[in-house]
Amino acid sequence: MIREARADQQVIKRATKDALDAWLRQSERLDIARKVHNLRGPRFVDFARRIGITDPASAYQLVKLHQYRGKIAKRCAKESADAARRGETYRYPGWETALSWFHNPARIRRSGRYWITPPQLYRKLDAEFQFDCDPCPHPLPKGFDSLKMDWGESNYVNPPFRKEDVTGGTGPTAFVRKAISEQQRGKTSVLLLSVFDYVALLLQAGAEIRSLGRVPFRDVDSSRTAPHPANIACFVLRGKPTKRRNG
């Protein structure tokens, strides 16, 4: 078991089906260690370390993944098929993301499924864009699904920031695709989306953004291209003219 586990550790860092399967096998080994061999405390931590899981906290979380393996496989199969229809390469989730899909819903309830826009921010944007539709209202009416409905002429979109915040797992990407579709019909959408701090800083500095698509970066040693190229944006910060001092 130890030798097979160490072999799995060689593939788990890649966002592929093989990598996720390797994590599921590691979870199964940890599950066997606890339920069959009754390993607890230091003995369980030591076993986890021997199969390549060096962080005790991760080991205690990873052991929970095994019970959701069927649901995870079903969801990944659906998302992979959807990506194939769009002509995209599906990036399989890491084990922590896969676990969050089904485990510990109480955490989501504590943090809140809805995050309401500060009134002063909404009023400022509404004054500029004069919204006539909110595709992500709160409270959400029963049976309401804005992804299957026509939007208004000017839409205020405060989508769920994470898939796990919504029943059914609909994240911000779905709303972005819908907004693009509505744009083709002459409709305007204003979307509030979470971004990394460095992106916000670049935008505040007036950076231009260009989409470069999926860039096949090369390994510095082997020159092989990345197996799953990420979407890359190019940010251009143009130099500002400096004031010359009078001589």
Average pLDDT, the chain: 83
pLDDT at 205: 93
pLDDT at 210: 94
Residue 166 has pLDDT above 70, yes or no: no
Residue 90 has pLDDT above 80, yes or no: yes
Q: Model confidence at 111, in pLDDT bands (50, 70, 90)?
A: very low
pLDDT at 244: 67
Residue 112 has pLDDT above 80, yes or no: no
Residue 61 has pLDDT above 50, yes or no: yes
The model's pLDDT over 181-195, given as tens digits with 9 standing for 90+, comes to: 999 999 999 999 988
Q: How far is CA 206 from CA 201, 203, 231, in A?
A: 9, 5, 21
pLDDT at 5: 47
Cα gap 165→115, rounded to integer Å? 10
Cα gap 231→247, rounded to integer Å? 49
Q: Where are the domains of the chain?
A: 2-103, 119-191, 197-236
